Structures are given as structure tokens and as C-alpha cells.
Amino acid sequence: MVTARAPATSANLGSGFDTFGVALSHPADTVSVERAAETTIEVSGAGAQYIPTDPDKNVVGAVAEALDAPAHIHIDKGVRPSSGLGSSAASAAAAAVALNELYDRGYSAHDLVPVAAEGEAVVSGEAHADNVAPSLLGGFTVVRSDDGATSVDADLPLVACLPEVVVSTRDARRVVPDTLSMADHVETVGNAATLTAGMCRSDPELVGRGMDDPVVTPARAELITGYADVREAALAAGATGVTVSGAGPSVLAVPEPGCRRAVAAAMVEAFADAGVGARAYQTEVGRGATVL
């Protein structure tokens, strides 16, 4: 048996819609695999009751198929599904790493990005790599449709606050505007470049400033009860930037050094004031998937 762990991730980071992603040190999914004639799936942990065990409907089934690596696969969910924290991507990345090892395929983490993205296609209809890339490679990642993923390590504290709100990825994509003005384009490019420089320098001030996004985040914020107050509370408690994590409903904040606990508490309290239960992960930029 081979067991692998792959971390939760936060895609977009505001200015990098469908492009940027970051690995969180926790939470994570753990996937164990054993050789079998046909793929079977078992799921335990956070939100297991909402996750299909049919290999045609679970992301790990598509990964096993892509690697021609049938197995009995046990997924222990640490990342709640539909959280905005790359739940399906964590399973896909862990399965890709575990099956690669089990069948001695010899692929690198970069080689496994399109493989795990095939798993994501089971959920969204498209082979998005903006969550699987950071889950496999760790750190901060940039994906482009035609040439894989680029990654850079960063040393940065983060808070991911997960509210008890349901946001469907379908709705979250439907509200994204089809077009943007040249002024918004210029602002977004400036923010994205600032964020990238901040990640390369592990500079929370630059990263937070670069998370601003005039196009996608304002539209999606409407779907998350209490978002505006949570954002204000996090900034007042010492966050340098706040945005919607992935398609939501989680909210991601970058705290100034020494402020992580206060930012987490302020976000949970602001959600509570809006009548929404929430939990906050005090985390940081983390490593990619590993065999345990």
C-alpha cells in the first residue's frame, strides 16, 4: 500500500483569476492505494457523505484511468468539498502521487499536473489546473493553458476562513463578467505583477496589495453572506489583503507577521455577526503533495 498527502489550495488570489494558486500547509487530504484489477473507492473524513464513490464521478477515478493504474483507493478528506479550498484537487493530487509510486511510473510532480487536472474535469467539465498545480508543486503557482505550471516557494502566513455557506462553483462562474474595460485590465495586470513580486520576496505587504481585483471578486462577493464585513474586520485586525478563495465560499487573508491569530478571530467573529458559523485555518504557504 502507498499513502500520499496533498494540501488544500487557494486559487485566483484575487488578481490571478484561473491563473494563480497557492498551497496551504493545512488542511490536506490523505489517499491510500493498493493494486487491484478494477478501481474501487472508499471515502472518509470531512464531508465524505457528499462525495461519490463511483470511479466515473470521483476525481481519483479519472486519475487512476489516466495513469492506467487500477487500485482500491481510500480517500481521507481533510479538505471539505465545495469549500473554495481545492477539495477535489487535493484528492486528485494525492491520488496521482500515490498511484505514480504504486505503479512505479516515474513521473515528476510537473508531469502529474495534467494528469490530476483530468480528475478536475470530472467535477467541472474542464481540466482546470489552478488548484492541482499548487497541490502537487507546493508554493505559489502560475498556470497557463498551453505550457503547464510555474512555481515559486514563498514563506508567508495565511488565514483561510470557511463559512457555513453554500456557493456552487457553477453560480460562482456564472457571475464572472464576460468582458472588462481597459482601465480594469491595466489595474488587474498591475495587481497581478505586484502579487507575483511579493511571492518571490515572501513580502506580505506586496502580496496583500496585489490581491485587489476590480472584476471577478466584487461579483463573487455578493454570493457570500457577510463578505464585506469579514473583509473589513480582517484588514482592521492586520491583514494586508483579503479575497475570495477559489470559487468561494472561503475567504483568504494575508496577515502581517504576528497578526495571524487576531485576523482569524476577527474573520470568524464578523461571520458570526452576520449570522454565519465559520472556522478559520491559521495556515501558511505550504509544500506540495508527498508520499508518506
Ligand X SMILES: Nc1ncnc2c1ncn2[C@@H]1O[C@H](COP(=O)(O)OP(=O)(O)OP(=O)(O)O)[C@@H](O)[C@H]1O
> CB–CB of 22/51 below 8 Å?
no
Residues in touch with ligand HSE (CB under 6 A): 11-12, 18, 128, 130-131, 169, 172-173, 246-247
Residues in a beta bridge with 274: none
Given the residues 19, 40, 169, 225, select the one marked as catalytic.
169
Q: Which does 196 bind (CB under 5 to 8 A by kind): ligand HSE, ligand X, none?
A: none
Taking residue 175's Cβ as centre, other Cβ atoms within 10 Å add up to 13
Whether 40 is catalytic: no
Shortest Å, Cβ 147 to ligand X: 21
Q: Which three cell numbers stand for residue 273?
A: 455577526
At 167, is the secondary structure helix, strand, or coil? coil
Distance CA 82, CA 75 (A): 16
CB nearer to ligand HSE: pick between 23 and 268: 23
Q: Which does 75 bind (CB under 5 to 8 A by kind): ligand X, ligand HSE, none?
A: ligand X
Q: Which does 123 bind (CB under 5 to 8 A by kind): ligand X, ligand HSE, none?
A: ligand X
Distance CA 2, CA 7 (A): 17
Whether 169 is catalytic: yes
Given the residues 9, 30, 120, 194, select the one marked as catalytic.
120
Q: Which does 51 bind (CB under 5 to 8 A by kind): ligand X, ligand HSE, none?
A: ligand X
- The three-point CA angle 252-254-260 to 5° equals 100
Shortest Å, Cβ 155 to ligand HSE: 24
- The three-point CA angle 159-162-163 to 5° equals 135
Q: How many residues bind ligand X (CB under 6 A)?
A: 23
63 scored as a contact of ligand X (CB under 6 A) = no
Distance CA 207, CA 156 (A): 9
Q: Which of residues 165-194 bind ligand X (CB under 6 A)?
A: 169
100 scored as a contact of ligand X (CB under 6 A) = no
Distance CA 95, CA 107 (A): 13
The mark string for 118-137 relative to ligand X (x by CB under 6 A, - otherwise) is: -----x-------x------
CB nearer to ligand X: pick between 123 and 259: 123
Burial of 208 (0-12, 13-18, 19+ CB in 10 A): buried
Residue with cell 487536472: 117
Quote the DSSP letter at residue 202. T
58 scored as a contact of ligand X (CB under 6 A) = yes
Distance CA 240, CA 218 (A): 18
> Catalytic amino acids?
120, 169
Binding residues for ATP: 80-90
- The residues binding ligand X (CB under 6 A) are 11, 50-52, 58-60, 75, 81-89, 91, 123, 131, 169, 246-247
